[in-house]
Chain A
């Protein structure tokens, strides 16, 4: 008569899970001045808002997990989020074998381990999907905050470009500017 033996197995799995998302667009800057002058104005405006110039000429602002990068030369903007999380999953499982040693016991233990490892992989995959959806949600809410700021940047650069253009057309006699509505009236004597 054979006896039943309890086999207990514990497995742990660690993985660094990474979630990222990115949105790209372009600032629609009017061609009032030559591109290099517009780029210079944009660079100044971005610097005033916490953007730092990178080696490749782009302007970057990092805030927590979100990077906002603008290329002043062509107005391309990229908003990127990257979230990393070191995750450890551990689980124990018991099964029944009919031998306490030998090939039959080893097989039973290996089967349990395989099952456990599969469960842990699925758990980490679920964690990764959760982190990804959190990152996407965070990016979406950041975009809502960023929209008005980008609008203000484009507005400011456009106004500055118009003022410079006006001085080149003649002598500026009057500038009426409303920062709240964004309206600008420049009177030029040619």
Chain B
């Protein structure tokens, strides 16, 4: 099989975007500018399609899809592997990842005058590809600065859910209900352990951040992402898809006795308090998760969503949610300079 030099570079770039090649091996490809050919050969197209298909499935499987797990299907808990819970699962990739790939192989994003924009609507698998690409492109901060304003990233609910702090602070969060279209819910189930890890790392970065403005920006993006996601999850009757958040909160709350100190910069008390709260934007979502747990406790066996409520109760109890909520309330009081007002 023979492919042109440009096609070989594009395939290598794709392998990098899918996490199968280190950044050092594509730096020169990404940082050069060449003429983009009008098309690609059938051989190259076949290789790209094959790499893309296998790479996306591998991403889902490695992220957590390999596990036997239990999630809601049509309102009832169902156990098994993702392909057992949803036998009809399939990933439909359009030509848009390919178009992006060829563009990326030809231009240097940081120097390109125009951001790349997808010519049509993206499928869930397309959006998953752009999420994986966003993860890989964090190795090239300058290029990512230019790319993150492109709609496949800035308007991608998957990117917002996993990497909100990498996005442009002026970006508007998308409608997170789009995550639940088509095969989105199964993809979301597969990604749960990976999302847990992403959010733990994001929260650790918040705790280490000393710059008040940067912390506020990070916190605002995280809050927009999580509030939008939880609202969508609730509206779609899939509270179980917030398990990653519950587990991330549990791991972070368990790791510290007290809230991280606010950045000290001789600034206003109001700014320091805002920054403190922004830094805990993930952990404070426990309030919503606790509200769901209280609603679940009130649910009666004849309610339509009783099984879903019971499922959430079991998730809550698995992480000792009551203790987490109590700890969060204590942290909130510690951070509130007028906190002794509780009778």
Contacts and interface: CB of A to CB of B under 8 A. Distances in A.
Q: Do A and B bind each other?
A: yes
Contacts of B266: 129, 133
Nearest to A81: B269
A147 B340 CA distance: 6
Nearest to A158: B343
B342 A25 contact: no
B269 A27 contact: no
A143 B340 contact: no
B273 to A, nearest CB: 7
B337 A154 contact: no
Contacts of B342: 28, 154
Contact of A143 (B268, B338, B343): B338
Contact of A21 (B270, B336, B340): B270
A132 B266 CA distance: 9
Interface in A132-190: 132-133, 136, 139-140, 143, 146-148, 150-151, 153-155, 158, 182
B71 to A, nearest CB: 36
Contacts of B269: 21, 23, 136, 139-140
Contacts of A77: 338, 341
B268 A25 contact: no
Contacts of A154: 341-343
A66 interface: no
A23 B343 contact: no
B265 to A, nearest CB: 11
B343 A25 contact: no
Contacts of A21: 268-270
A37 interface: no
B197 to A, nearest CB: 34
A23 B341 contact: no
A40 to B, nearest CB: 18
B340 A25 contact: no
A28 B341 contact: yes
A30 B270 contact: no
B337 A151 contact: no
Contact of B268 (A28, A136, A153): A136
Contacts of A148: 340
Candidate in B268, B273, B337, B343 with the most chain A CB atoms within 10 angstroms: B343
A120 interface: no
B343 to A, nearest CB: 5
A25 B270 contact: no
Contacts of A30: 343
Interface in B262-284: 266, 268-270, 273
B343 A140 contact: no
Interface residues of B, number: 13
Contacts of A100: none
B212 to A, nearest CB: 14
Nearest to A156: B343
B276 to A, nearest CB: 12
Interface string A104-141: 00000000000000000000000001001100100110
A132 B273 CA distance: 16
B171 to A, nearest CB: 28
B339 interface: yes
Contacts of B273: 23
Given A132-B268, A136-B268, A140-B269, A23 B338 contact: yes
A147 B343 contact: no
B315 to A, nearest CB: 28
A28 B343 CA distance: 7
Contact of B341 (A22, A132, A136, A150): A150
A151 B341 contact: yes
A26 B338 CA distance: 8
24 contacts: A21-B269, A23-B270, A23-B273, A23-B338, A25-B337, A25-B338, A25-B339, A27-B341, A28-B341, A28-B342, A28-B343, A29-B343, A136-B268, A136-B269, A140-B269, A143-B337, A143-B338, A147-B339, A148-B340, A150-B338, A151-B341, A151-B343, A154-B343, A158-B343
Interface of B: 266, 268-270, 273, 336-343
Shortest 7 CB-CB distances between A and B: which pairs?
A: A25-B338, A147-B340, A28-B342, A158-B343, A151-B340, A21-B268, A150-B341
Given A28-B342, A129-B266, A139-B269, 20 more contacts: A21-B268, A23-B269, A23-B270, A23-B337, A25-B336, A25-B337, A27-B341, A77-B338, A136-B268, A143-B338, A147-B341, A148-B340, A150-B338, A150-B340, A151-B340, A151-B343, A153-B341, A154-B343, A155-B343, A158-B343
